[in-house]
Amino acid sequence: MINKPSLPQGTRDFNAAVIRKRNFIFSTIKNIFEIYGFQPLETPAMENFETLMGKYGEEGDRLIFKILNNGLSNEKNIEKTKAGFEKLLEGKNSTDITERALKYDLTIPFARYVAMNHTKLTFPFKRYQIQPVWRADRPQKGRYREFTQCDADVVGSKSLYNETELANIYHQVFCELRITNYELRINSRKILAALAEACGGNEKMVDITVAIDKLDKIGIDKVKIELEERGLTTIQIETIEKFLNITGSNQQKILALHEMFGKNKLAAEGMQELAFVQNHAIPETNLVFDFTLARGLNYYTGVIFEVKAPAEIKMGSIGGGGRYDDLTGLFGVNDIPGVGISFGVDRIYDVMEELNLFPEDLQIGPKAIFFNMGQKEVDFAFNIMQNLRNHGIACEIILEEMKIAKQFSLAEKKNIAYAIIIGEKEIEQNYCQVKNLATGEQHVVVLENLVEFLGKMP
RNA sequence: GUAGUCGUAGCUCAGUUGGUUAGAGCAUCAGAUUGUGAUUCUGAGGGUCGGGGGUUCGAGCCCCCUCGAUUACCCCA
């Protein structure tokens, strides 16, 4: 009994039409990365499990796709396998069962790469990376188990100009994709740290940020309840509420924050960072200071970014990133600060599809197709076709005999621009009919001139 | 990991309180029509009703399990 074939949950096949649209996004992003001086890097689909473990928080670890070791049932491994499995059942991980995992993002593998190669790299080192990543998350709208990230990171530079450049990359990419009303939210972890300090200490930072990050979604009252559940006192919650009530323009927000934190050093630094980015960057309609922005990943230390899709689309963030002081420290190489951003191509695709933003001329097939007017004619046309191909003109020939009407609809489905008809008469008199399939216009072209003719036609 | 909704032809969907052999439109194929895409007409093929089990004289419909899709939560791009 043969089962119906299917795909693993959350994965997709991409047909030609989809790939052309995806490539449009990829090439737009890639070009701009290159213009800003970033160089490409690719890393393996899988990493050693230990490389990824513990880098994304508890929730993140749960979502890493683990790869089962080979040879588990091999006699000499069987004791180890059993012991390892016992550990798994206790909720622990065991390298006796899994030594490798699919990569979860591009940042940690990049940090691993930098740590491994830091003696050979020239700093500041700028790389971009466009590759699929995998997460064992439950799929839903805009969420896939296999999706592609486009990252750009600079390591070995503390300059805030990097943040500014990255903000401008976001702006330039989204303008080119015509997602003009995207929103780039930025915050600084230092401001959040200052808030945590004002609320009884750094160890409260995670609790506070996780809760206030949800303000948009669940509202102030529920945030307060969550803060209470997380052990914050009433006075501390009042402070946080005051913090969350800061609204207005970016300028007004800074003023209010200034008033609230006074001379607090961390807060002042954070505000300075945000102001710096704003002064060198993009329109305020796109750049929004958002002090509630936290971002889950623990390794961020300075400015953090998150890109929101246009408000009319219900979609999570379509990009994110931030500054990390010591990412490679996780791999034993200290003092390499960095900052990076990421584009979520799959979500950008969904947004563009919904807003109908893809250019119409992306769907191009071969330029010409030779109709089948009989076996002898095919034989003749084949050589003409090869000559076109040798001149770089994409074309094909219909090898099966079929009715003319069908040949036309076939050509149309393949998005082919021109039909070339060579029948008995044409062979005798050394010409062909070239029909523009979009307009219906038909030309008589002498065979010697066909390359030149098609070369000139759009 | 938790919860809701859904699953009938290639696609979009009908299908009565459970009742004969499960339907339509579109698409496909063949013919009218052996050198120009349309229209029209005629005909044809196509279904383990997601899968398994149960209740029943009888299940596409009711019950249980399971798989998949989708949406939301958690978290995230």
How do the pLDDT tens digits run along chain A, 458 residues long? 345 677 888 888 888 888 999 999 999 999 999 999 999 999 999 999 999 998 888 788 888 998 988 888 888 888 888 888 888 877 777 788 889 999 999 999 999 999 999 999 999 999 999 999 999 988 888 889 999 999 999 999 999 999 999 999 999 999 999 999 999 999 999 999 888 888 877 777 878 888 888 887 777 888 888 888 887 888 888 888 888 888 888 889 998 998 888 778 889 999 999 999 998 878 888 999 998 888 777 788 999 999 999 888 888 789 999 999 889 999 999 999 999 999 999 999 999 988 889 998 888 889 999 999 988 899 999 999 999 999 999 999 998 888 888 898 888 888 899 999 999 889 999 999 999 988 888 999 999 999 999 998 88
Query: Which H or E run includes A33?
Result: helix A16-35
User: Which nucleotide comes closest to A344 if you measure CA to C1'?
Assistant: B77
What does each C-alpha distance from A140 to A10, A89, A197, A316 come to in angstroms?
8, 28, 37, 11
Same-domain check for residues A50 and A188: yes
**DSSP code at position A449:** G
Q: What is the DSSP letter of A352?
A: H
The number of domains in chain A is 2
Please indicate, yes or no, whether residues A323 and A384 belong to a single structural domain of this protein: no
Separation between the CA of A47 and the C1’ of B65 (whole angstroms): 38
Q: Which amino acid is at A56?
A: Y
Residue A289 and residue A305: Cα distance in Å, rounded? 10
Q: Are A63 and A98 in a shared domain?
A: yes
Residue A28 and residue A101 share a domain = yes
Tokens of A295: 């971002």
Measured between alpha carbons, how far is A56 from A58 in angstroms, rounded to an integer? 7
For residue A106, what is the DSSP state? S
Q: Kindly state whether residues A80 and A143 are assigned to the same domain.
A: yes
For CA atoms A192, A198, A201, A204, the dihedral sign is: negative
In a domain, A7, yes or no: no
Q: What is the DSSP string of A155-184?
A: ES---THHHHHHHHHHHHHHHHTT-TT-EE
* Residues A224 and A86 grouped into a single domain: yes
Q: What is the pLDDT of residue A311?
A: 82
Q: Residue A227's CB: how many other CB atoms inside 10 A?
A: 23
Q: Identify whether the C-beta of residue A188 lies closer than 8 Å to the C-beta of residue A274.
A: yes
Distance CA A305, CA A209 (A): 15
Strand B: which positions are within 7 A of a protein CB? 1-3, 28-31, 33, 35-38, 48, 50, 68-77
pLDDT at A3: 59
Alpha helices (H) along A77-125: 78-89, 107-117
Which CATH number belongs to the domain containing residue A39 in this structure? 3.30.930.10
In chain A, residues 160 through 219 whose Cβ sits under 7 angstroms from any atom of nucleic acid strand B: 210, 213-214, 217-218
Q: What are the C-alpha distances in Å from A97 to residues A76, A109, A124, A136, A427?
A: 14, 22, 39, 18, 69
User: Domain for residue A3, yes or no?
Assistant: no
**Is the four-CA dihedral A215, A219, A220, A225 of positive or negative sign?**
negative
CB neighbours of residue A163 within 10 Å: 27
CATH of the domain at A385: 3.40.50.800
> What pLDDT shows up at residue A178?
94
- The pLDDT of residue A1 is 39
Rounded Cα gap, residues A402 and A424, in angstroms: 16
Domain span at residue A408 reads 364-456
pLDDT value of residue A229: 81
Cα A115 to its chain centre, rounded Å, is 24
Q: CA distances (Å), A219 to each of A85, A187, A191, A359, in order?
A: 43, 19, 21, 39
Final residue of a domain: which of A330, A354, A378? A354
Which chain A residues in 106-165 sit with Cβ < 7 A of strand B? 135, 137-145, 147, 149
Say yes or no: A253 and A400 in one domain: no
Task: Show which of A295, A320, A354 is a domain's final residue.
Answer: A354
Confirm whether A88 is domain-assigned. yes
d(CA A378, CA A422): 8
Instruction: State the pLDDT at residue A362.
Output: 86
Question: A107 and A340 in contact (C-beta within 8 Å)?
Answer: yes
A436 part of a folded domain: yes
Supply the DSSP symbol for A8: P
Handedness of CA A10, A11, A13, A18 (dihedral sign): positive
What size, in residues, is chain A?
Answer: 458
Same domain? For A373 and A343 the reply is no
Separation of alpha carbons A84 and A89, rounded Å: 9
**What pLDDT shows up at residue A88?**
80
Looking at residue A272, its pLDDT comes to 92
How far apart, in whole angstroms, are the C-alpha atoms of residue A309 and residue A337? 29
- Total-model pTM: 0.91
> Closest nt to A374 (CA→C1')?
B34
Structure tokens at A312: 């009319």
Q: E-strand spans in A111-266?
A: 125-134, 146-155, 183-188
| Residues paired with residue A321 on neighbouring β-strands, in sequence order | A305, A341
Same domain, A259 and A340: yes
What CA–CA distance (Å, rounded) separates A98 from A179? 42
CA of A49 to C1' of B67 (A): 30
In a domain, A132, yes or no: yes
Domain membership of residue A268 (yes or no) is: yes
- The residue written with tokens 């213009």 in the block is A35
- Residue type (1 letter), A254: I
Same domain, A23 and A168: yes
Among A354, A375, A403, the domain boundary falls at A354
A369 and A343: one domain? no
- Rounded Cα gap, residues A257 and A249, in angstroms: 12
Verify that A227 and A139 share a domain, yes or no: yes
**A229 CB-to-strand B distance under 7 Å:** no
Residue A307: the pLDDT is: 94
Q: Which nucleotide is the nearest neighbour of A427, by CA and C1'?
A: B35
